[in-house]
Amino acid sequence: MFYIISKLFTYLFLPPGIFIIILLIATIFAKRFKILFFISALTLYLLSIQPVSNMLLNPLENFKHKDNITPSAVVVLGGGSNPKDTIKAFPDAFKREVYGLILAKTYNIPFVFSGGGIGKISEAENTKHDVQLLTKTFDVNITTYFEDKSLNTIQNGMYTALLFKKLKLPKNIYLVTNAYHMKRSYKIFKFFGFKIITKPVGFYSKPIESIWDYFPKMNSLNASYKAIHEYFGLLSLKIKGI
């Protein structure tokens, strides 16, 4: 019983649940904009539950592609970092780093990181710290390269292509990024002349396991946000002719 009460409190009285309740109360007592409050509550509820976030994520995360190539390098896209932390990369970005290093070690090919950012310390510099820490700790010898100018995924593709040209590396790659981000990343790197085997990591969709998956959660709202952001990103690529 205590477990159920604890769960209900978490899902109903912490965000986003509390805001859904507030909007529903506003629907009842407001003299104007009742429909707007109700639609807002319903939309926030739907975006905050696992079945809907799964529905938004699945078309993105199920994307796979495999060109008939032998990759010459692993390209890992940045996903954010914090220079204050011991491990600088954000959790999603760290998964990308580790998976990229595993692929580089397994196939004995270079590890290439792409990510600049707007901070005083670039994401590439933070990632270099993480990679050096991991390779030294686990005694792994891998050739690494870091691209530190890009501010978005299109620039990831553009500056990585320039780096490959400078290094005289064939543009045949394993591409590592989060599963929800892979479809857009693939289109961009294809546009810049790469042949690609996709290697997604960090999936956000997951099986529906219980009634609790129909209660609003920040994790599900965050997953829905990421999916919607990607759909807008794919639309912007179509507008730009990529």
Report pLDDT digits (tens) over 8-42: 778 888 999 999 999 999 999 998 999 999 999 99
Range of the domain at 57: 2-61+226-240
Question: In this predicted model, what pLDDT tens digit does every residue of 43-52 receive, in sequence order?
Answer: 999 999 999 9
Are 21 and 109 part of one and the same domain?
Answer: no
- Do 95 and 120 lie in one domain? The reply is yes
CA torsion angle 213 215 221 227 (round to 10): 40
Q: Number of structural domains, the chain?
A: 2
Residue 221 lies in a domain: no
Are 191 and 82 found together in one domain? yes
- At residue 198, φ and ψ (nearest 5 deg) are -75, 140
- Which of 180, 199, 177, 215 has its CA nearest to residue 56? 180
In whole angstroms, give the CA distance from residue 164 to residue 194: 10
Query: Is 137 found in the same domain as 35?
Result: no
Please check whether residues 48 and 166 belong to one and the same domain. no
Question: HEC states along 196-238?
Answer: EEEEEECCCCCCCCCHHHHCCCHHHHHHHHHHHHHHHHHHHHH
Q: Is residue 212 part of a domain?
A: no
- What's the pTM value of the predicted model, to 2 decimals? 0.94
pLDDT at 118: 84
One-letter amino acid at 134 equals L
- Nearest-angstrom CA–CA distance, 152 and 203: 21
Q: Residues 112, 21: one domain?
A: no
